[in-house]
Chain A
């Protein structure tokens, strides 16, 4: 607890407000400077790394010892690869890496469980693949709308994963998820009408890749994840594939309406997973 907070809850909220403001200032500064998409693309992974540092109070040494420390390097390497892809414009390689990363991440995080728990590690890899596919395939009418959508989806997913992480006996992952979700909300708020906003390879490989590694750690290493809640929650990554037919049906052309519809549809599975968690654990919710 910091000196300003009188309870763990207050410390948590204070941390979220602080990182949210920092992300808002950083995103606003980049927008004011008219930084290109490569720079705005770095915001999301940078926020993930800051959230990690605030949660675990450390930058792990290399080589990392244990899954929690590996998460940091999954995000750092993902960010570096993402920047490289954007700088060289090799989108084909980027697409391949976005799909390969969750598989590599599952194998790396779950090394201790191989070969005995190969089916579980494979399931975690496939889950990560689905998440990445959902995050990278959803497209809006313009690139900035696509970027906003992807960032929004990742932010809502982080907030939705937090209670699953808490029930999965990982208060640190709970904290990290909420801190990261707050920073993403700030980034989206600052860039809602920014045509230069990009949620590209670095955001996917560094930011989303880092969060996938967090979820894989909770499921493969801590091994207390509620699978029903996780299954319901995972439906949020299907939203990008079903939202466009809905938008066409309602003939929504205004970006704000389209984004609001997207947010509403993302909140449905996240709300359902939260309801699942509460229904299954009720008063034993370990707050």
Chain B
């Protein structure tokens, strides 16, 4: 009986080892745009928070759950794909007063310092570049889950992030009295490991 128990335990341990090794391995993950999203919120005359979304973005990150400090993150958002659910306004914010899509077609974020607060949360400090102006920004990150996608068996990491920036820091000072200076950013990311 005890031999049977030992054999069973050994078999289970052997079967579990590859999964553990996979989970612990550092990997490069491509952001899955289908299951990721970037939204921003900005005050309108104090009445409401207008919601905007980035429809087109891409990026990748390197992530090792055992060594989060060694991770890296690169994200690029296409300015032309920013939507606020109003075509007139969406067209206007592409202009020189705002995102200036002609001269600066992309918004980028490069994360370079990762700090884990606990097993589930931490911060990513990096450089955010909007309209040609680069400023340091820190994302508050919640690590959601790492594991295998049951549909396609891909290795997936998911996290949520939030931060707040001032648009005036990036030179966007149009209509400051009417449209808020503080912009809240909410980010949901699902990354798929490169095979």
Interface, chain A (partner B; CB < 8 A): 1-2, 8, 11, 56-58, 60, 65-69, 112-113, 168-173, 217-218, 220-224, 284, 286
Contact = CB atoms under 8 A, between A and B. Distances in A.
Given A65-B131, A170-B96, A112 B102 contact: yes
Contacts of A66: 96, 100, 103-104, 131-132, 171
A172 B174 contact: yes
B133 interface: yes
Contacts of A8: 175, 177-178
Contacts of B91: 169, 224
Contacts of B133: 65
Given A112-B102, A112-B103, A222 B171 contact: no
Nearest to B102: A221
Contacts of B175: 8, 171
Contacts of B174: 171-172
A69 B100 CA distance: 12
B22 interface: no
**Chain B residues touching A, majority SS:** loop
- Find the residue from B92, B97, B131, B178 having the highest chain A CB count within 10 A: B97
B171 A224 contact: no
Given A170-B95, A172-B97, A69 B171 contact: yes
B195 interface: no
Contacts of A56: 173
A2 B178 CA distance: 11
B171 A68 contact: yes
B41 to A, nearest CB: 21
Contacts of B92: 169, 224, 286
Interface of B: 88, 91-92, 94-97, 100, 102-104, 131-133, 168, 171, 173-178
A170 B171 contact: no
A218 B103 contact: no
B97 A222 contact: yes
Contacts of B104: 66
A239 B109 CA distance: 51
B101 to A, nearest CB: 9
- Find the residue from A60, A113, A222 having the highest chain B CB count within 10 A: A222
Given A11-B177, A224-B92, 15 more contacts: A8-B175, A56-B173, A68-B96, A68-B97, A68-B171, A169-B95, A170-B96, A171-B174, A217-B96, A221-B95, A221-B96, A222-B94, A222-B97, A222-B102, A223-B102
A12 to B, nearest CB: 10
Contacts of B97: 68, 169-173, 222
Given A221-B96, A224-B91, A224-B95, A67 B103 contact: yes
B105 to A, nearest CB: 9
- Find the residue from B96, B132, B168, B177 having the highest chain A CB count within 10 A: B96
Given A57-B173, A222-B95, A68 B178 contact: no
Contacts of B173: 56-58
B177 A1 contact: yes
The 8 A-B residue pairs whose C-beta atoms are closest, nearest first, are: A222-B95, A1-B177, A65-B132, A169-B92, A112-B103, A221-B96, A169-B95, A172-B97
15 contacts: A1-B177, A2-B177, A65-B131, A66-B104, A66-B171, A67-B96, A67-B103, A68-B96, A68-B171, A112-B102, A169-B94, A169-B95, A169-B97, A172-B97, A221-B103
- Find the residue from A1, A11, A218, A221 having the highest chain B CB count within 10 A: A221
B178 A1 contact: yes
Contacts of B132: 65-66
- Find the residue from B88, B91, B102, B131 having the highest chain A CB count within 10 A: B102
A213 to B, nearest CB: 11
A3 to B, nearest CB: 10
A57 B176 contact: yes
Contacts of B103: 66-67, 112, 221
Nearest to B93: A169
Contacts of B102: 112-113, 220-223
A217 B96 CA distance: 7
A121 to B, nearest CB: 12
A172 B175 CA distance: 8
Nearest to A168: B95
Contacts of A68: 96-97, 100, 171
